[in-house]
Amino acid sequence: MLNRRNFLLSGAAMLAVSAARASSPNHGQWVARADMPFAVQEIYPTSVMINGQPAIMNAGGFRTGGDFPVTNETTLYNPVADRWRHGVALPFQRHHIALASVDDHIYAIGGYGPSDGGLWNMRSEVIRIKDPEKGEWQAASALPTPQAEAMCVAHNGLIHMIGGRKVIAEKNQKWQDHVDTNAHWVFDPLTQSWSKRAPLPTARNSGAVAELNGTIYVLSGRTVAAGNTPVCEVYDPDEDRWRTIAPLPVPIRQPAPQGQGGLAAAARGGKVYCFGGEWFSEKSGVYADSWEYDPSADSWRAVAAMPRPRHGLGAVNLPDGIYTIGGATGPGGEGNSPFIDRFTL
């Protein structure tokens, strides 16, 4: 079993519900699309261009069966044909591996791999590939330190790796061997080098990230010490400065706490959208709530709830809508799914 659930249950307190309850969601619609080739969770898919057309790529994750085997498989989705196919496999097994597409290359960054002592060996390797259908993965400059469950996003030709978790134990094999970090590293593909940027004000893992109009949004997530957090913060790359924005609202469905860990986000039409996530308590569960953030008003509103709630999923914006990909329908390791749904307004 994935052991982070029991760890969070024993160490995390429910967050106080202090904001006003959101209104009933009635904006937007969902359409189910073709399932992925296999059920998988803890993924960070990205948009890519294949044969001049926008597509989605996923790599790694937890598959279903036994002790949740970690996969090295990659999959590619054609939204026009509504069809998945396999890409070039990773050279190693990884879960929580972050993908980002920059300058005709797809980068796969950090994450965890299996080791003799467990499934949570945090890694610093970075690899890249130009043609995910027929190419070859090549080594790129590694992270300065191992990092995973981070918020990773491409902006202006650079890749930002923000927050997540870092290693604190010598063995580096179990989920308990890591702690939250506020580290913020930026990778320049031209120089193949990493440099520091202003740290994330609120250290956390399993948040969501999106880039909109030159601003990077880090949204909700969780901490080891206190469980889910509704805190949302934005980063201005030109000024190398963070500021706090309105927190994620109180969930519509109780008894879920405010703040959604293991959620996904994407930007579209001048707004930022968040989907899903999980919480751990005596009544753990998965969020169906979906939210829209308006930067001009610094406010959230509820939009149409996910018809198939999940956590550990990805969200990718394509020309015809936002796609939510994979994830698990139950908390922790429960209910891996191959689902993909398209959200439009």
Q: What pLDDT shows up at residue 10? A: 44
8 Å CB contact between 227 and 261: yes
Reduced to 3 states, what is the DSSP secondary structure of residue 291?
strand
pTM over 0.85? The answer is: yes
Q: How many Å apart are CA 19 and CA 257, to the nearest integer? A: 11
Question: Which residues are CB-neighbours of 6 under 8 A, at least 6 positions away?
Answer: none
Q: Which domains does the chain have, with CATH numbers?
A: 4-344 (2.120.10.80)
Structural Rg of the chain based on CA atoms: 18
- Residue carrying structure tokens 């689902």: 339
Reduced to 3 states, what is the DSSP secondary structure of residue 11?
helix
**CA nearest to 261, candidates 274, 272, 246:** 274
Reduced to 3 states, what is the DSSP secondary structure of residue 147?
coil
Reduced to 3 states, what is the DSSP secondary structure of residue 7?
helix
Alpha-helical runs (H) found in 217-322: none
Encoded tokens for 152: 């990773």
Burial class (CB in 10 A: 0-12, 13-18, 19+), 26: exposed
The pairing of beta strand 241-245 with beta strand 232-236: antiparallel
- For 177-233, the pLDDT digits (tens) are 999 999 999 999 999 999 999 999 999 999 999 999 999 999 999 999 999 999 999
**CA nearest to 102, candidates 155, 170, 38, 162:** 155
Q: How many Å apart are CA 64 and CA 326, to the nearest integer? A: 12
Q: How many Å apart are CA 70 and CA 24, to the nearest integer? A: 38
Q: What pLDDT shows up at residue 329? A: 97
Q: What pLDDT shows up at residue 11? A: 43
Handedness of CA 294, 300, 306, 309 (dihedral sign): positive
Q: What pLDDT shows up at residue 59? A: 98
- The segments of the chain whose pLDDT lies below 70 read 1-25
Question: Cα dist. 236→157, 160, 258 in Å?
Answer: 15, 12, 26
Q: What pLDDT shows up at residue 19? A: 35
- For 39-77, the pLDDT digits (tens) are 999 999 999 999 999 999 999 999 987 777 999 999 999
